[in-house]
């Protein structure tokens, strides 16, 4: 039976990390809309240009755009045995669209609950690899350059992990997701 999993949770809850582990254990593709958008920003594509300012401000990319991205991704044959979705859906319109895209398949929803102050603390420490995108729990200071445990790339702070933008993302999560 195909495992079609949605990993829900606020920014910093660990949904990306858990989605990756779950996908690896079950041999499923992990589909992260945040990763797809960050790659598009790095690649300077039309999607990336549309998303960059919104992501930097902690807002949500428009439903039309992101639903189109997910619809296209879920048509590829590698999802026939199931998938783990990370970061989608984030609005009611996205949830309705997803229902229609995957119908008649069932969905399993995992919701990770973490208090806001803990999320702010975690995201303040989070570092990501500038080369492969791996997440590091952090604890790294500016005077202490560190390398990615997976590929040796330099660790950087995600541009939307500043405290101000994190609080905006949490507020958007509470309101829209």
Q: Is 131 a catalytic residue?
A: no
- Cα separation, 35 vs 152, in Å, equals 20
Q: Is 52 a catalytic residue?
A: no
State the catalytic residue, choosing from 52, 73, 126, 127: 126
Instruction: Output 62 or 81, the one with its CB closest to ligand AMP.
Output: 62
State the catalytic residue, choosing from 15, 52, 73, 127: 15
Q: Is 76 a catalytic residue?
A: no
Shortest Cβ distance from residue 143 to ligand AMP (Å)?
A: 27
Shortest Cβ distance from residue 12 to ligand AMP (Å)?
A: 8
For tokens 């598009």, what's the residue? Answer: 40
For tokens 């639903």, what's the residue? Answer: 67
Q: Is 169 a catalytic residue?
A: yes
Q: Is 15 a catalytic residue?
A: yes
Instruction: Output 141 or 171, the one with its CB closest to ligand AMP.
Output: 171
Long-range contacts made by residues 110-115, C-beta under 8 angstroms, separation at least 24? 110/5, 110/6, 110/7, 110/8, 110/18, 111/8, 111/9, 112/7, 112/8, 112/9, 112/13, 112/14, 112/15, 112/18, 113/9, 113/13, 114/9, 114/10, 114/12, 114/13, 114/14
Residues at the contact surface with ligand AMP, assessed by CB under 6 A: 11, 33-34, 37, 54-55, 58-61, 66, 87-88, 90, 94, 160, 169
Shortest Cβ distance from residue 60 to ligand AMP (Å)?
A: 4
Q: Which residues are catalytic?
A: 15, 90, 126, 158, 169
């Amino acid at each position: 039976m195909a495992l079609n999993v949605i990993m829900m949770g606020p920014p910093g809850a660990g949904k990306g990390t858990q989605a990756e582990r779950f996908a690896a254990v079950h041999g499923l593709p992990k589909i992260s809309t945040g990763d797809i958008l960050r790659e598009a920003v790095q690649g300077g594509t039309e999607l990336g240009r549309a998303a960059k300012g919104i992501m930097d401000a902690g807002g949500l990319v428009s439903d039309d755009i992101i639903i189109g991205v997910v619809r296209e991704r879920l048509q590829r044959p590698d999802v026939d045995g199931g998938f783990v979705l990370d970061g989608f859906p984030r609005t009611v319109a996205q949830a309705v669209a997803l229902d229609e895209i995957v119908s008649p398949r069932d969905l399993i929803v995992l919701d990770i609950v973490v208090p806001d102050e803990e999320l702010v603390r975690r995201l303040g420490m989070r570092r990501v690899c500038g080369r492969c995108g791996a997440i590091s729990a952090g604890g790294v200071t500016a005077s202490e350059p560190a390398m990615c445990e997976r590929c040796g790339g330099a660790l950087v702070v995600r541009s939307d992990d500043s405290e101000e933008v994190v609080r905006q993302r949490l507020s958007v999560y509470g309101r829209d997701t």
